[in-house]
Amino acid sequence: MESEVLFLANKVVTLNETDLIKLKEYYSPYLVDSYPQGALFAIRVEGCTITAYRSGKVLFQGKKSETEAEKWIQFDIAETKPIIKKTRYSPPERISTMSVIGSDEVGTGDYFGPITVAAVYVAKEKISTLQSLGVKDSKKLSDNQIIALAGKLIQTVPYSLLILKNEKYNELQQSGMSQGKMKAMLHNQAIDHVCKKIAPKEPEAILIDQFVEPSIYFRHNLNKDIPFQDRTFFITKAESIHVSVAIASIISRYAFLKEIEKLSEMAGFPLPKGAGKIVDEACAKLIEIKGKEALSTFTKRHFANTKKALSIYEK
């Protein structure tokens, strides 16, 4: 019974060197001579024995351990350190200075228009030159900036651009394929194309702007050739990690804009991006002009917008 009480009354806090000294000073009148091997010092106050170890761990024992430990919890390194979940797919520290193939996609959340995926190779010697062109996340650039930049970039870097048009998208979706699988297959295909373009040169790493768990990504590509799987990394917001992903996001957005432009011309009026209310209304208008059948050419038909547009149209 006694030992159980003691066990329950144990508390451990991990401190850095500075805070260990602080703690020692704070309790200096209560330092004791005997302490276990491996310990730096020990303290005995009423209801609590405190033992500090070289590792920074401080053990509080006794019925007042909770109260005493409480005073030091704010300094606990283990508690204040942000928890970054690293996996074997997390990019290495120095990836931003490596020769990398990066990939990104656009259009997955847009009702009108295709999904566009680009993969881009940037050799390390070219990183700073490309950065000086003003390459950054495509979401932070205006459409005009995207068009101007993309024009330069496609002449500068080896890349692959894939456009999954609405007809094909709807066909695949109808056959039971998830959008996630479509994306995974497109990324892999684009990356594979770039690998072949730059061969016999090899990328030091492949960086995918993460849209799915890596294990699921690879499962979606199970029966495909996956180039350099052992050096493929995933991270969200990858465009801020390596310029190749930033360029991939610019090229894929550029292609998406061009496709929307073409579709708008076919529709006879500008088609909005996204999947909001304006999109429902534009779709109702499209049905009025082109008929329901046209939706497979212009839209990702399984989106909820179709139902909403039909109900607007039928009113």
Residues with Cβ < 8 Å from 298, sequence gap 6 or more? 112, 113, 166, 263, 266, 267, 271, 286, 290
Identify residues 233-272 at the interface with Mg ion (CB under 5 A).
Answer: none
Nearer to Mg ion, 76 or 104 (CB): 104
Residue whose CB is nearest to Mg ion in the complex, by number: 209
Instruction: Work out which of 68, 209, 259, 280 binds Mg ion, going by CB under 5 A.
Output: 209
Rounded to a whole number of angstroms, the minimum distance from the CB of residue 183 to Mg ion is: 9
Long-range contacts of 29-35 (CB under 8 A, 24+ apart): none
Nearer to Mg ion, 13 or 194 (CB): 194
Rounded to a whole number of angstroms, the minimum distance from the CB of residue 103 to Mg ion is: 9
Q: Which of 152, 117, 105 is nearest to 132 (CA)?
A: 152
Nearer to Mg ion, 30 or 211 (CB): 211
Rounded to a whole number of angstroms, the minimum distance from the CB of residue 115 to Mg ion is: 11
Residues with Cβ < 8 Å from 172, sequence gap 6 or more? 164, 182
Which span sits near Mg ion by CB under 5 A: 33-41, 91-99, 150-158, 205-213?
205-213
* DSSP per-residue letters across 280-292: HHHHHHHHHHH-G
Rounded to a whole number of angstroms, the minimum distance from the CB of residue 106 to Mg ion is: 8
Identity of the amino acid at 50: I
104: buried, middle or exposed (CB in 10 Å: 19+, 13-18, 0-12)?
A: buried
Identify residues 87-116 at the interface with Mg ion (CB under 5 A).
Answer: 104
Cα separation values, 158 from 99, 148, 153, 194, 245, Å? 12, 18, 9, 7, 13
Rounded to a whole number of angstroms, the minimum distance from the CB of residue 236 to Mg ion is: 8
Gap between the Cα atoms of 173 and 125, Å rounded: 41
Token readout for 192 is 């594979």
**Binding-site residue total for Mg ion (CB under 5 A)?**
2
Rounded to a whole number of angstroms, the minimum distance from the CB of residue 220 to Mg ion is: 16
Which span sits near Mg ion by CB under 5 A: 6-14, 56-64, 113-121, 207-215?
207-215
Token readout for 261 is 């432009």
Nearer to Mg ion, 104 or 259 (CB): 104
Which span sits near Mg ion by CB under 5 A: 44-52, 111-119, 202-210, 216-224?
202-210
Token readout for 217 is 């990504």
Rounded to a whole number of angstroms, the minimum distance from the CB of residue 232 to Mg ion is: 16
Nearer to Mg ion, 62 or 113 (CB): 113
Binding-site ranges for Mg ion (CB under 5 A)? 104, 209
